[in-house]
Amino acid sequence: MSLGTLQEIAQRVGGTARGDAALSIARIAAIDEAGPDALTFATTPAYLQAALKSKAAAILVDEALLEAVGNGQSKPLIVVPNARAALMHLLHAFDRPRKRGPFRHPSAVVDESATLGSEVYVGPNVVIGARTRIGDRAVIEAGAFVGDDVQIGDDALLYPQSRVLDACIAGKGVILHPGATIGSEGFGYVFLDGRFERIPQVGNAVLGDDVEIGANTCVDRAQTGSTEIGDGTKIDNLCQIGHNCRIGRNTGMAAQTGLAGSTNIGDYALIGGQAGFKGHITIGSRVKIAGGAKVWSDLPDDAFVSGTPAR
């Protein structure tokens, strides 16, 4: 198998081939896995130096990075404005195709009052509750659970064992990875007469369009009103979003981050892994929060913080 020549691949990603343009490339590989038939990639000076010493046939590299370290390189190159964007484009050719409907497995349990759009795929042992609406071309994979009065948008993808509980909403193009739970009970109790008494959580959780929720991440339903995740936001595995939190558009959140209830986060924030938020605080837009930071107070737009407590 061949991905093509260096020149052909460069044309495919809007780049420039340097070196042997007729060199044949069979696959794409990380630096430590690359052999003499592989194209590898580099996005930092350290990775570029490692790639140059690797067994890879050629390197996909940012133009700005190459200019910063010098052009006298010993391997063939594909030089592009953005190596990560070019890599994304190339890897789409290897992406596993989505399942396609219309299809309903005989073991699926779909309430007769539910409404399914056109070309919906419903896998084995799926449960879809009463009065729920599933959009066109949605894919509900094996063992996924969709409760009563739920709305799922067009082109949504629910991986195996993901869950959208009663009255919650997931927009167009939403992706829920295995074990993700939308609409779990918020952690609400009052301590009376020496014991915890549960406060009913009667709100819901609302995911905007193109939201992606990682494996075993929980988005709690609101006590009243809605827990909200804005359009385009991506949340990694094993995160906890407490009740009544609001996260803006196109925010990225890495694994094991935890938001206590009623944390508000703006648009375009970047949040490192294992960050923690006190709750009932407001975080601005375009904020950058380092991994492991513990955020105890409000932050303005464009802040960068790290540490415990975050500063």
Catalytic residue list: 243
If one counts every other C-beta atom within 10 angstroms of the C-beta of residue 254, the result is 20
The values of phi and psi at residue 65, to 5°, are -65, -45
Among 156, 214, 227, 213, CA closest to 185: 227
Could you tell me which residues come within 8 angstroms of residue 225 by beta carbon, excluding any fewer than 6 positions away?
203, 244
Q: What is the DSSP string of 131-176?
A: T-EE-TT-EE-TT-EE-TT-EE-TT-EE-TT-EE-TT-EE-TT-EE
Inter-residue contact 170 to 149 (CB < 8 Å): no
Structure tokens at 34: 């690359």
Inter-residue contact 52 to 31 (CB < 8 Å): no
Residue 141's Cβ-side half-sphere holds a number of Cα atoms within 13 Å equal to 16
SS3 112: coil
Inter-residue contact 166 to 129 (CB < 8 Å): yes
